[in-house]
Amino acid sequence: MLRSFFGSRRRIEKLIPDLKAYATALCGDRDQADDLVQEAIARALQSGPSLKSADELRPWLFRVLRNFFFDEQRKKTVRREYFTQEKRWVSEVNDQVLDPEDTLAIRNAYEELSADHREVLALVDILGLRYKEVAELLNISQGTVMSRISRGRQALLARLEDNTEEKIVKFPHKYR
């Protein structure tokens, strides 16, 4: 086992220049390329004996590096979109002051929704993801996303109408 670890390590070390060149071509930044290579190597070493030959190792490492790069790009894009959306919401909220009772009523109504409805509403209505993105993220069909959004919004509105008639302030379960 130890021999195979060091054998894999030597094969990986021989690939480092090629991995760095590929990573630099992907991201255009040497520091980020070093990080990508380091992550690909760490994942290769963690995989242990699953890689049997040098012929498997080279394409696998390139694929790991590429996938990690695109995963990080997606995360950055989502974060950027989220913060852009959040800034817009903050400016809209600053222009329009919400009544604290309304805010509590909305939060309470949202908390009462099923987990599936809360999840889809958060991703689409709050974070601004597209139906297709949500479908891929949750591994469900786009039609299911659209159905959950529709039913979630209807349920939220129904609960808000019920809450306004009762005017009862309930605290979310996490504060009980």
Residue 106 CB-density burial (10 A; 0-12 exposed, 13-18 middle, 19+ buried): middle
Encode the chain (176 residues) as per-residue pLDDT tens digits.
Answer: 334 544 567 777 888 999 999 999 988 889 989 999 998 888 877 876 565 566 777 888 888 888 888 888 888 777 777 677 666 665 655 555 667 787 788 888 888 889 889 889 888 888 888 899 899 888 999 999 999 999 999 998 888 887 555 554 554 544 44
Q: What is the pLDDT of residue 3?
A: 42
Domain with CATH 1.10.1740.10 in the chain: 2-80
DSSP-derived secondary structure for 90-148: HHHHHHSPPPHHHHHHHHHHHHHS-HHHHHHHIIIIIT---HHHHHHHHTS-HHHHHHH
Q: What is the pLDDT of residue 176?
A: 41
Q: How far is residue 2 from each of residues 7, 46, 108, measured CA to CA in Å?
A: 9, 13, 57
Q: What is the pLDDT of residue 5?
A: 45
Q: Does domain 2-80 have CATH number 3.30.470.20?
A: no
Q: What is the pLDDT of residue 71?
A: 84
Longest dimension (CA), the chain: 73
Q: Provide the whole-model pTM.
A: 0.43
Q: What is the pLDDT of residue 1?
A: 37
Q: What's 98-175's CATH class?
A: mainly alpha
Domain with CATH 1.10.10.10 in the chain: 98-175
Say how far apart CA 109 and CA 121 lie, in whole Å. 12
Look up residue 84 and give its two tokens: 């852009």
Q: What is the pLDDT of residue 175?
A: 44
What percentage of the chain exceeds 70 in pLDDT?
74
